[in-house]
Structures are given as structure tokens and as C-alpha cells.
Structure 1
Amino acid sequence: MQVLRIQANLPETLSDTHIIIYVNHFRDTTMKLYIHVPFCHSKCAYCDFYSTPRKEWMEAYTDALINEWRVRSETFDEGIDTLYFGGGTPSSLPHALLKRIIDALDLDTRLLREATIEANPEDVSMEWVRFIVNETPLRRVSMGIQSFDDSELHTVGRRHTAARAIEATETLRAEGIANISCDLIYGLPGQDMKSWKRSLSTLTGLRPEHISAYLLSYEPGTRLFAMLDKGKIEETPDEVVEAMYAHLCEVTAKEGYLHYEISNFALPGKEAIHNSSYWDGSPYIGLGPGAHSWDGTKRSANPCNLKKYIEGNGSGVNETEDETIENLFNDMLITRLRTARGISLDEISEKFGKKMAETFKEESTPMIEDGRLVLTPDHRYAIPENQWLTSNAILLELIKV
């Protein structure tokens, strides 16, 4: 069995006979804004996101980013209702530069339904949190903890300890952050069921509003991939990964978290609004090197090149990707079927026509019969929770090549 390994947000476990329907956030005409901060203290062994340790470029990056926003914000009239600082490590930006960016955005905070910044535990000090609360509209912090086992953290190049992660979470809470998201990774080198259970128990005991739990992915070009290739570490066996995933689903459900997307769990009403836009097709704009955008009909991206981004002052670097009907259909299918809500024939028909919807219905029928797909009470097609870990194989049978 090939499990789904992904990297880069239900009150009880879904089964073949019991389906919990997740009511998604309504889709509207507002725009989501993502800002990629490409700076990191150091590169984690598993990470293939674009980042650099060149902190001397932070000020020039800020100038270019502000100019990119000035140019691109003239191309749309929608208000911004979610703001997300991702990376990289946004918490590594000096306070003054982060404040400059936020001031330049000049967003109507009355429209903001969610404003998030990613942070690493080692950056979360009382001073930093007070700055976030008092000087910015950011009220949601997404923190990359990954594990509460120090040996596992050391193996993958994380700079914090388990104790520091706990302290950071407590500091966020004590200083007024009421919406916290924390990341964990399972399938780490040397990790077993005992350590995974301990990490998950520790995190749920801290009661973050949101949990993202990712199965480790060995991405080409990363140090971890090289270590695997040289035989220095071994990939976690599929049967152990499956047991880890089953335990994850069981514990989060018991603790009251909704499993609303393959890797994301939330207390009721705390689902990630911004990240949900990636799965429901809402338009979003991405600023910074390596950031992607989607206007509802076409995708575009900034190259992963900070030097080029700065030299162009953030302008003229955005490249549009050609999209075929098949690609658009595949994108819609893959993103919707990542969620508990799934996809409906009406949604397919509205965008791609009745013929495409009928074809999907015919192709999905045998999958419903053998339990790889389910038809929910409101006539939506979804992958059951117990099949999400192997959803790649299901999607490969449905996408258009």
C-alpha cells in the first residue's frame, strides 16, 4: 500500500458507514493575501520550501515587497479578508520591517476575518508576542513544533527543544493570542509509536485551537533525502505510518477536534479560513519570491529567487502559468477531495459542463461500491477518513491526464 506523503491547515472518525459533513466557510468575492518571507535561521533537513539565511537582504526584500503590493493591488478591487505571513520564518523578521510591511498594506482591518503569522518556537518571546498583539492586526499564530522529542528535533535540524516549544505555546496564550495553530510531523527518522503518542498527547494537552499533522515527505534536494539515499536513515514502514495516522485520528476526535482536511484538525469554529481558500477555489494573491497566486481562472507565481526579486523591486517577476481545462479540473478535484466536504456534481457541472460531471459520476461509482469514495447525505463525493492516507491512488484514477 502506498501512503500519501505530504509536507509544506470530525468530531468522530469517518468510516465507510458514518460520514460527518464539514460545513465549509462560505466563499465570497473578497481576496486572500499571502506574503512569503523567505528568511530562515537555518534550513531544516526535510524542508523544500524556498528560504535563505541571507538576513542582510531583509531590508531590500521589504522595499521590493512593498513595491510589488503597490503595483499588484491596483489590479483588483476586492477587499482583503485574510492575511497570512508564511515562509521561511516570518518570526525572524525584525519588528520594524514587519511593521513597515503591515503599514504599507494599509488593510481595512474591519474586513479581516483572519490574520496569521508563522513562527518558530525559538522566536516566541514575551517581547515578540506583545509586539504582535499591540502593533499589528495579527491574531493567529501558526507554530512549527514538529515533535516533542529532542532527539527527533535534532535529527531533522530543528533549533528548539521540546521544553522551548511548550514554553512558547504558554507565552502565546499568556500574552493574549487566543488562536494558536501547531504543526507536528509523523514518520520522522527514529520515531516510533511510543514517541508519536507522547508528542500528540503533549500537544493536545496544550489545547491549541488548530493542529496540522503531516506525514514526513522525503523531497529531492533536501538533506533528509540525501541521508535516506545514502542509507544513513530509513523510511518509516507503511504499516507504522498507518498506525500513527489511525492514532492521530482517534486522539484528535476524542479531544474534540474536527478532521476537516487530510492534515488539518480544528476545534469547532477554528478551521483555518485562509488555508481553506486553497481547497475551495477562492482567489488569492501571493507576494514575495516563491509565492503563488490564483485569480479564479489562472495561476501565476514569483520565481524562487530573492536576488532577482530585489533587483526587479518586486515588479515584473510574476509569471503566469498556462492552464488547460484538464489541469483546472484536476486542480479542483485534488483540492476538494482533500477535505471532508468533498465535491458535488453541481460544482463540476457549473465549471466544466454536464458531460464532465457525468463522466466523473460514472468513474466514481465503482469506487463508492468498494469504499474508496462515499456519497454524503447532501450528495457530495468524498474520500473517507480511513482512505485519506492513500488518497493519491484514488485521485490518480479520477484525474484527467
Structure 2
Amino acid sequence: MAGLYFHIPFCFTRCGYCDFYKTTRLEFMDAFLKTLFSEVDHYKEDFNHPLSSIYFGGGTPSLVKGADFAALFAAVKSAYHLQSDAEITIEANPDDLTAEYLDDLLELGFNRISIGIQSFHQRDLQEMGRRHNAQQARNAVELAWQRGFRNIGMDLIYGLPWSSTAYFKQNLEIFTQLPVQHLSAYHLTFEEGTPFHRLLKKGIYQEVSEEDSLEQYHLLRAFTRQKGFEHYELSNFCSPGFRSRHNSSYWNGVPYLGFGPGAHSYFGNTRRWNKSDLNLYLQGDWTKVCEEEQLSEADAFNETLMLGLRTCEGLDLKEMRTRFPKFYATLMEQSSRWISGAALVHENDRLFCTPGSWFVVDGIIEDLFVSE
């Protein structure tokens, strides 16, 4: 099994927290799509895995017209082996979702939609630079359900410096009332190079306290349990049977091929990425656009460790013994203190986080990393 990822780098406006590659130069959309078709064709000989998922991320994929998606799907189907039951996801902004557009998406073959809500509070949306309002956020989810989507995801952000735990609780209360099957909830991080990071450095924003962060995380877990969701990855929750197949492929080391500026690919021990430069991308010289590296044994170990401990299943220790005999003893020795401190559990030949320790899993992972 494998997946395709399409990075659509266009946005009407820039959100202050986002560090994904994007541009507001929508006049380049047609040229971008033409180059995207060329890239899809260029790599067809390199990637012959059966495709179980396609994911359109961004940026704002919902800025792409239905007719352009139709042509792109035709190109994909002629160049790659797309399984009949493949999960096909589009990320969408609430204010892009009309009944007509949702009908078009369903007819094209999209069977999963991820709606960038972020918050149901107007001030939050304004501070973040979102272009939809609080009512549009709620209406978009309900409209997607009414038009026939039965696999709907939404995003929320918590840990907002101007907001409060009470407001985040209200967001969660609204979430439990909506017909969604998947929730991605991220604690705000001040990524270097973003407007929010600059505001943090100026002292205009301050990071929320660790106590507030932890309280909001526990609220998140409580409300998702109330809705019957499973917490299957650090930031992801879903109804049983509705895990994101595409994102799960990342965490499980399944090959994927990425298209568009800033997109990444992974197969075998090869990691490939396109430079985050639309002007360069539009030239279509893939020897200049694309860079790649071969993962060392330590790199592959660290990546497997990081991805595994972020999931509810954790690390398969049998696999770690087989793939990384050089580092296995070190892993078990280093993890022993986390096990004795009840942050990790070693059970049935698996190593995984306890629910409480997931909030600090990045520190655990960093402690377990190895070097050559």
C-alpha cells in the first residue's frame, strides 16, 4: 500500500501561526496546475505501489476548481494504480464550502473531508488570521454532512495566548454536537519565521502556562472520550473505524509520493522533498526542484522511534530488534527509567506511552534518540 500527497500552496490570506509553505499569489494557480500535471507524469516510473490514499493539503486545496480536480484525477489514474476503495481526502476552508462545490467533490471521488475550523470563537479566528467566521465554521460541517460526506474531520487549536481554558471547553462542547468522525487538535506552537513567532519575541504574545496547557489537554481527552472517539495518535482522535488512512501511512512507514512545492516523499530509505519555492517549481526542472537523502541507520531508527511513540500502539519491539540490532540494547536501557517512572509501558513486546505521558512525549523521544 502507498499514498500520494498533493501540496496546494495557495491561500487568500496568511494565518499568523502557519509555517507550511504557501503563497497568496493566486494568479499563478493555472501555471501551477500545469506544472503539477507534468510532475505527476514525471514520477510515474519511480512509484509503482498500489495507492490506498490520496491527500490534498496546503495551503488551501479548496481553492482548486472541480474541473481541475477532474483532470488531475484522470492523470493520476492513467499513471498510477489507484485502488477502488482508496481514501481520498481534501483539506478545506469553511467559507469555500458551498452545496454545489461539495456535490462536485463527492462526484469526483472525494470520500473524506478535513475542515480547518481551528475555533468557534470569533476573536480566535480574527487573531489567527482565518477568513471564515464562527457561524461559517459550524455551518460548513453541517453542510458537508447534509450533502453526503460521511467521513468528516475538523481541526482545533488550543493553547492560544489571548484565550482561556473556558473558551476551549466551549469549542469542545460544540465539537461534540457536530457530525464529525475525526478531530485533529494541536497545541499552538510559535514556529520560527511566522508572524506569531515575531509577536512572541516582541512580548506581545506569551506562551500559556504549563498548567493551562495540561488542563486543556485533559479536557480534550475527556470530551473526545465522551463522543466515543479513540485517541490513536498524539494529536488525532476519531470514531472507531475512522482513522486517517493517509496520515497513518506516515506514522507506519508506508511509502508515499509528494507533489507540489514543499512536498515530501518517502520510500525505502530514501527521503525526497521539493524546495519551497513556487517560482522554481514552475520552471519544471525536477533536477533543481527536488532534493533527496538516504537515511542512515540511526536516522531510520530515530524516525521509527518518533513516529511509533506518537501512536497508541507504540513501538513494535520485535521489529526494532530485527531492523536495528545495533541500537536495540541502548533503546531498552534508556527506556527503563521512563518505564519505572510510569511514563512508558513495556507490554506484549511493545513500548508505548501512558495517556498522561503523551503530553510530554517529545521529551521522551528526544531522550531515546541515538547517533551513529
TM-score (norm 1): 0.89
Cα distance in 2 for partners of 1:400, 1:108 equals 37
Change (3 A) 1:116 1:166: same
Task: Say whether residues 1:202 and 2:174 are aligned partners.
Answer: yes
Matched-pair contact (CA < 8 Å) for 2:232–2:311: yes
Partner of 1:124: 97
Q: Deviations over 1:4-53 (max 9, x none)?
A: xxxxxxxxxxxxxxxxxxxxxxxxxx221100000011110000000001
- Of the three residues 364, 369, 372, the one matched with 1:399 is 369
Matched, 1:75 2:50: no
Q: Which residue of 2 aligns with 1:268?
A: 240
Amino acid at match of 2:87: E
Residues 255-307 of structure 1: CA deviation (Å, up to 9, x unaligned)? 10000000000000001110001111111110111000000211010000111
Provide the rounded CA distance (Å) in 2 between the counterparts of 1:137 and 1:357.
44
Mapped pair 1:381 → 2:351 = yes
Q: For residues 301-356 of structure 1, what are the alpha-carbon distances to aligned partners after superposition, in whole Å with 9 as ceiling and x for unaligned?
A: 00001110111265652211242211111111001100010012211122122x42
Q: Where does 1:306-385 land on structure 2 (aligned, <5 Å)?
A: 306-312=278-284, 317-353=289-325, 355-376=326-347, 378-385=348-355
Equivalent position of 1:191 in the other structure: 163
Could you tell me which amino acid in structure 2 is paired with residue 238 of structure 1? E
Code of the aligned partner of 1:387: S
| Helix, strand or coil at the partner of 1:50 | coil
**Bigger helix share:** 2
1:129-165, Cα deviation, whole Å (9 max, x unpaired): 011012x111100011001110011011011111101
Paired residues of 1:346 and 1:357 also in contact (CA < 8 A): no
Q: Equivalents in 2 of 1:280, 1:334: separation in Å? A: 11
Is contact 1:67–1:315 with CA below 8 Å preserved after alignment? no
Q: Which amino acid aligns with 1:380?
A: R
- Judge which range, 378-387 or 32-41, deviates more: 378-387
Q: Contact conserved, 2:17 with 2:194, CA < 8 A, in 1?
A: yes
Match of 1:22 in 2: none
Distance 1:335 1:123 in 2: 33
Pair 1:290-2:262 in alignment? yes
Matched, 1:115 2:88: yes
Task: Kindly report which structure 2 residues correspond to 1:208-287, keeping only aligned pairs within 5 A, or say none.
Answer: 208-287=180-259
Higher strand proportion (structure 1 or 2): 2
Q: Distance in 2 between matches of 1:122 and 1:310?
A: 28
Q: Distance in 1 between matches of 2:185 and 2:295?
A: 31
Q: Does 1:54 align with 2:25?
A: yes
SS of equivalent residue, structure 1 residue 113:
strand
How far off is 1:385 after superposition?
A: 1.6
Aligned-pair CA distance for 1:108: 5.3
Per-residue deviation, residues 195-218 of structure 1 (Å, max 9, x unmatched): 000001101210310000000010
Structure 1: runs of 5+ lacking an equivalent? 1-29
Change (3 A) 1:112 1:303: farther
Q: 1:159 aligns with which of 123, 131, 142?
A: 131
Q: Is the 8 A contact 2:264 2:273 kept in 1?
A: yes
Partner of 1:97: 68
Q: TM-score, normalised by structure 2?
A: 0.96
Give the paired residue count. Answer: 369
CA distance in 1, matches of 2:233, 2:129: 27
- Structure 1 residues 211 and 240: CA distance shift in structure 2, 3 A: same
Structure 2 residue runs of 5 or longer lacking an equivalent are none
Code of the aligned partner of 1:250: A
SS at match of 1:122: helix
